[in-house]
Amino acid sequence: MIEPSNRVKHTKESYIRNILKVIQQPGMLSLAGGLPDAHRFPQSILAQAAAELANQPTIYQYGASEGLTELREFILASKPFAEEVIITSGSQQALDLIARCYLNPGDQVLCETPSYLGALQIFDLAEAETLTVDSEKDGPNLAHLEQVLAANNVKFFYAVPDFQNPSGRCWSLGKRQAVADLLAKYKVAFVEDAPYRELRYEGEPLTTVTELCKGDAFYLGSFSKIATPGMRVGYAMASKPLLAPLIKVKQASDLHSALPMQKMLLSTISHPDFGLHLEQLKSHYCSRRDALVSALQKHLSDYVDFAVPQGGMFVWCRLKQHQAQHIATAALKAKVAIVPGDEFWPARSTVNDQAIRLNFTALDSKDLEQAVIRLATVMQQSQASG
Ligand SMILES: Cc1ncc(COP(=O)(O)O)c(C=O)c1O
């Protein structure tokens, strides 16, 4: 077999992909993934949107690399702070295009700790050096951020300010402004990844960091969490000159995202009932979050500390006395899947993050409690065996 490139060999593997076979075993309860609840996709709206496609032969033609004009106009109208938008195959592709356009091998990117694994993989593939900034419950540690920016030559800071994956954290308004000011001072670009922004269960939405940035900033949006991930439609917003290289690379990469899916997505999100769907989805996920939180308080409070996230899909639990990798392996044997915290750190990091990420959107309340009971047994046994 021919050798994979060094880029690929040095890219961090996905923990979930590696344990997929085990997760799929009968009786397994998985808190490991980040899947939306498939029973809550807007089925009737999607069916209407799909039926409309039948009468539009031109939608099956090749299209523009920057995406369907009507969809781009709809997105720009909903987020008037950006000058331009391009449609991508999920927000994952938007980040990949940014990395390919703006990172030379050896360039430095800055990430939160912990950070989204899919982003770390992209930065590895771009052969970038991934630096980290310490994170607090309301956003990055500002003194550390300034220290890292002053001592390095960071190309951009990548972050998920709203209900981060994996930590569930949401940056305070003060931190958003302070980060924007520091980035302006050190002339560093910002990449705001916001797939969970619309999944807020309480409190008021906060200004995006992109809006506060005086210099270069990208805002990445996704429909995966509020409509369906299977359509693979996301977008990148920024100034026209910043987006121009992305259009060129997208052309080389996949020409354009599938037009029927873009059209179907537009019909879905512009449907008069989509707002109601979103409200119902949020209240559904909020009750699942509450079910997980009360199960953790009831069964695991001796072993974990956690903050209740105001939105998103994850609860991040810090382990008081256990080793996360050890607990994750033992949990699989007890038929519950979780992701250990150090999976969300760059590949070369030596940090041992004794935390676990728990997803609350994919299982119902009963299974969420059952999974936590299994975890509690695993932790009790692991403590008893020393
Ligand atoms: C932080 C973050 N960014 C991006 C993505 C990718 O989303 P999409 O389905 O839009 O590609 C995910 C998916 O889970 C995510 O958690």
Q: Looking at residue 14, what is its pLDDT?
A: 82
Is 159's pLDDT higher than 90?
yes
Nearest protein CA to atom 8 of ligand 1, as residue: 90
Q: Which residue from 95, 112, 191, 193 has its CB within 8 A of the most atoms of ligand 1, so it is best to mutate?
A: 193
Distance between CA atoms of 383 and 386, rounded to whole angstroms? 5
Q: Which residue from 41, 93, 97, 165 has its CB within 8 A of the most atoms of ligand 1, so it is best to mutate?
A: 165
Q: Looking at residue 20, what is its pLDDT?
A: 77
Q: How far apart are the first and last CA of the chain?
A: 45
Q: Domain boundaries in the chain?
A: 6-41+275-384, 57-269
Q: Looking at residue 15, what is its pLDDT?
A: 82
Pick the CATH number of 6-41+275-384 from 3.40.1180.10, 3.90.1150.10, 3.10.20.30, 3.20.20.80: 3.90.1150.10
Q: Which pLDDT tens digit goes with each residue over 95-131?
A: 999 999 999 999 999 999 999 999 999 999 999 999 9
Binding site membership of 161 for ligand 1 (Cβ less than 6 Å):
no
Range in 164-178, 201-215, 348-362 with the lowest mean pLDDT: 348-362
Range in 140-149, 274-283, 343-352 with the lowest mean pLDDT: 343-352
Q: Kindly state the percentage of the chain with pLDDT values over 90.
A: 88
Q: Looking at residue 11, what is its pLDDT?
A: 86
CA of 296 to the centre of ligand 1 (A): 26
Is 386's pLDDT higher than 70?
no
Distance between CA atoms of 283 and 198, rounded to whole angstroms? 12
Domain 57-269 fold: Aspartate Aminotransferase; domain 2 (3.40.640)
Under a CB-based contact definition with an 8 Å cutoff, are residues 41 and 228 in contact?
yes
Binding site membership of 224 for ligand 1 (Cβ less than 6 Å):
yes
CA of 262 to the centre of ligand 1 (A): 17
Q: Kindly state the percentage of the chain with pLDDT values over 70.
A: 98
Q: Which pLDDT tens digit goes with each residue over 266-324?
A: 999 999 999 999 999 999 999 999 999 999 999 999 999 999 999 999 999 999 998 99
Binding site membership of 245 for ligand 1 (Cβ less than 6 Å):
no
The pair of three-digit structure tokens given for residue 172, joined into one six-digit string:
């305070």
Is 209's pLDDT higher than 90?
yes
Atom of ligand 1 nearest to the CA of 92: 11
pLDDT, the chain, mean: 95
Nearest protein CA to atom 14 of ligand 1, as residue: 34
Under a CB-based contact definition with an 8 Å cutoff, are residues 357 and 314 in contact?
yes
Atom of ligand 1 nearest to the CA of 229: 9
Q: Is 249 exposed, middle or buried (0-12, 13-18, 19+ CB in 10 A)?
A: middle
- The residue-averaged pLDDT of 33-46 equals 95
Under a CB-based contact definition with an 8 Å cutoff, are residues 191 and 159 in contact?
yes
Neighbour tally for 7: CB within 10 Å? 12
Q: Looking at residue 245, what is its pLDDT?
A: 98
